[in-house]
Structure 1
Amino acid sequence: MDENRFVACAAAISAIMTVCLLLKKNKKKRRLWVRPWIARREQQGIHHTLLRELQFEDLKSYINYLRMDEDSFKFIASKISPLISKQNTHLRNCISVEERLMVTLRFLATGESYRSLQYSSRIPQCTLSGIIPETCEAIYQALKGDFLKVPRTEKEWLDIAKDFEDKWNVFNTIGAMDGKHVRITCPDKGGSHHFNYKSYHSIILFALTDANYKFIYIDVGTNGRIGDSGVYNKS
């Protein structure tokens, strides 16, 4: 009787210890809502410090940083605001449209990684990975109707040809066409699909402009292995 009770107690203790070990193993470390240096974004982030200094003290450097002047920046921000603006919560303020646009323009200008960009912007890379694609899409949707307009009528094409003739003394031309290889990291199992003649992986940005350097058509995303004629045929 005593032996049976001892065995039962030992089994119970063993079971309790096993459960405790499992709970300890599965217990996740408590994560901070936000890292302290991230929380100081509105006081020390680059949008609230360096960019403001450049805006008032060095306009040339401001343009170099964003690749556009202040008026152009404000114009684009006003256009995309209805598409990407967020609401503040009682826990924290949202990232403003201007800050979203700033970090997107900087990414496009430099190709800087999200991981690197998070330190100057004080926006976590996981947040940047959502902000930047969303802002790019908003810019395209907001501006394509006015600034990326493919001619629809014969007269519009003839007007472009006349501009080339008058400004550049080039006849029977309805657009200047060229392409640019944009370097990428080879996708998983991508093989040589994106490997170009320059010996690196890329996608192709293909563009057609009028006589005034204005884009009238673009095609982006074709794998770098394809030549210019191939991009033209599929566009």
Structure 2
Amino acid sequence: MQRSKRRKKARHWVSPYLKDRNEKGRFASDFEHLHMDSSRFIENFRMPPEIFDELFELLQPHLRPKKNTRPKDGIPTKTKLAIVLEYMAAGTLQSHIASCYHISKQHIGKIVSDVCKAICCALKQEIAEWTEATLREVADGFQKQWNFPNCVGAIDGKHVAIKAPPNSGSLFYNYKGFHSIVLMATCDANYRFTYIDVGAYESEGDSNVVKNSKFGSSVLND
């Protein structure tokens, strides 16, 4: 005979620890102090305070809060941006970042997704299309700044660690011993990205990653 299991009643509708966000969370207690100390701000967010403010202005239209039935619990847009930049700078310390900001780990995941989408929407026009004129401009930069002639970009790849997707086998398993996807990018003489391709299987190898990208196929097809 099966007995129906009763759902355990939660002690609190919202954890008291999370309720303290606006008083004791990292953004409320520490952000303004960091903002006034440029070197420490860069250590935590990998950009100067003025660049953070500029990025915030660009993202605001893309991160307008949806209708909230509990507005007192809403997380401000600037807090979301701070969370995501610190999470990206720290790597995979999602639980630690959640604790510092007094936000649940599950909510942090949604914030990271929303802010990254907003960044893509706001900055997608920042990388110009490759034309003869833009490539000549990049080559001039390498010539003048680094005395490196006829160079239209520096290219490299990065293994971005992920959890293996279900039923993926060894597609995402790399030679370093963990699962990842490949971020391939080129930049100009001032370290500004001029092309980005992300999502290739690690098992493809460097040559196939380049060949299967839009950049690689364009080169192969003249």
Report the counterpart of residue 220 of structure 1 in structure 2. 198
* Mapped contact 2:62–2:121 kept (Cα < 8 A): no
Cα deviation digits, residues 70-89 of structure 1 (max 9, x gap): 11111111111111121555
- Local SS of the residue matching 1:225: helix
| 1:70-85 mapped onto 2 (5 Å cutoff) | 70-85=49-64
Q: How far apart, CA to CA, are the structure 1 residues paired with 2:139 and 2:90? A: 35
TM-score normalised over the length of structure 1: 0.81
- Select the residue among 200, 223, 227 that pairs with 2:178: 200
Report the counterpart of residue 155 of structure 1 in structure 2. 133
- How many angstroms does 1:114 deviate by? 3.1
| 1:106-117 mapped onto 2 (5 Å cutoff) | 106-117=86-97
Q: How far apart, CA to CA, are the structure 1 residues paired with 2:174 and 2:75? A: 39
* Mapped contact 1:196–1:226 kept (Cα < 8 A): no
TM-score normalised over the length of structure 2: 0.86
**AA matched with 2:59:** I
Report the counterpart of residue 50 of structure 1 in structure 2. 30
The runs of 5 or more residues in structure 1 that have no matched partner are 1-17
- Select the residue among 74, 80, 83 that pairs with 1:103: 83
Q: How far apart, CA to CA, are the structure 2 residues paired with 1:185 and 1:88? A: 32
Query: Structure 1 residues 91 and 77, CA, compared in 2 at 3 Å: closer, same or farther?
Result: closer
- Local SS of the residue matching 1:47: helix
Cα deviation digits, residues 80-113 of structure 1 (max 9, x gap): 1111121555552411110000110011111234
Query: What is the alpha-carbon root mean square deviation over aligned residues?
Result: 2.1
Report the counterpart of residue 125 of structure 1 in structure 2. 105
Q: How far apart, CA to CA, are the structure 2 residues paired with 1:33 and 1:40? A: 14
How many residues align? The count is 211
* Identical amino acids, percent of aligned pairs: 34
Larger radius of gyration: 1
1:179 maps to 2:150: no
